[in-house]
A and B are shown apart, each in its own frame.
Chain A
Amino acid sequence: MEKTWRGWATGENRRGEFEEVALVHLDAIYRSALRLTHNRAEAEDLAQDTCLRAFRSFHRFNPGTNCRAWLFTILRNAFRDRLRRGGRERLDPEAADWEGEWQSATVVAPTGQPEEEFFLTALAGDVERALRALPLPFREVVMLSDLEELSYKEIAEVVGCPVGTVMSRLSRGRALLRQALGRVAREHGYLKESP
């Protein structure tokens, strides 16, 4: 009885529930779409596509799990479908390639104070700009962890890789982001060129 009674969430009911549970995360979806596409019109389009896909498969969402994580998974799939159609950004075998390439590049462990000062004075938008320069596999884990605050396990599910891979991409991604921010800082003249 109970089950059927709750089970008829259809039509208007399903829509109301969707708005309460999923659509409240539209800001996060839009922000992430913007970080993936680098373009407002495309981000809006992608966010809209994501929401409609989510609504159509809302019956498959498991209440009690993180709805934002579920939405990010759909966003990621929608984005990858677009890339496949457009063939613009490098995808598969993205991770392997990128990781090889970027692991071999020297990433300097943060050593000192100058960068920390920059973090206090960074302009709004610097982080977003620096983030967009990161290759997709690193960008997405940093974005999901540091900006959208998902757990490693949730990120692993969204990205479809083991938790260990999330960890290594995150550590690499954060180091790359630091470097990119340092570059921005030097361009702005906040930091002197290191000797």
Chain B
Amino acid sequence: MNCTELESRLHPFVDGELGLADMAEAEAHIAECPGCRGRVARERQFRQFLRRQPRESAPHALRERIRAQVGRTARWAAVRRWSAVSAAAAAIIAAIALLPALRSSTPLVSELVDKHIAFTQMEQPAELASADRQAVEQWFRERAALRVTVADYSMVGIRLIGARIAEARARPMSYVLYEKGHVPLSVFMVPVTAPEGDLRGTRVAYRGHDYVTQERKGYRTVSWTDGQAIFGLVSMLDYDALLECADKLRTERAHEARL
């Protein structure tokens, strides 16, 4: 490589963007040529000078404005998506109208929503604060003789916060609290002795299982029963997320039952 060739490759050389062979040739040339060595040094110095410049931050108010607007857009997107899904679900329901609908006189789901609101507004929503699923399951076994499955949602960023023993129908039920960002997700399990037709709402089939969805006081709920207990999920998260969480809990519980 001679001086002219080096000059034409000066910038990619200084930026580390030359291929290995060219890089080696350029290195060899500047080792021998004081003129080009000085040229490279000055160019490097200039680049370092530019990179050392103070960097301005975005104004705090701008950041907050953007976060708020993104939040509004996200909520609208979720509403629109769900309207499309429920239209499709309505068509399915019409087709399976002969299946017995789950009916009830007592709205258990309303009770769960009220508990979700009450607990999440408490300073310490969880009696037992723990991110350890096994510890939470053991705590329920020892404290209330409840066989509870605490599903793992960590891979989608839903963190386990803790648990408490609550009551429904004068019987103990389990309450497990998770959080996605700052959005709480409550998972209830109400043991039942006889199959109860206790769930009202829209029937939805998801991955081969039936669920009942219902929106109350702005919260979305997904519930189902396996004959031994009624399970209920309550959150502001959208239905896609809730159904996926429900399916995962169901799968993990079935897996545990087989063991």
Contact = CB atoms under 8 A, between A and B. Distances in A.
Given A152-B12, A152-B17, A11 B75 contact: yes
A6 interface: yes
Contacts of B240: 8, 10-11
A170 interface: yes
B98 to A, nearest CB: 29
A167 B155 contact: no
A128 B53 CA distance: 9
Interface residues of B, number: 48
Contact of A8 (B58, B62, B244): B244
Contact of A51 (B42, B46, B70, B78): B70
Given A4-B244, A6-B156, A55-B73, A124 B54 contact: yes
Given A6-B156, A11-B237, A13-B156, A119 B46 contact: yes
Contacts of A5: 155-156, 244, 248
Interface residues of A, number: 50
A52 B181 contact: no
B66 interface: yes
Given A5-B248, A11-B238, A152-B12, A116 B73 contact: no
Given A11-B78, A13-B157, A110-B42, 17 more contacts: A11-B238, A12-B74, A16-B157, A27-B57, A30-B59, A31-B56, A47-B58, A48-B69, A55-B70, A116-B45, A119-B49, A122-B49, A142-B50, A147-B55, A151-B17, A170-B15, A171-B10
12 contacts: A12-B180, A12-B183, A15-B71, A26-B58, A26-B62, A27-B55, A27-B57, A48-B66, A110-B42, A116-B45, A147-B50, A171-B11
Interface of A: 4-6, 8-19, 23, 26-27, 29-31, 34, 44, 47-48, 51-52, 55-56, 109-110, 116, 119, 122, 124, 127-128, 142, 145-147, 149, 151-152, 167, 170-171, 174, 177-178
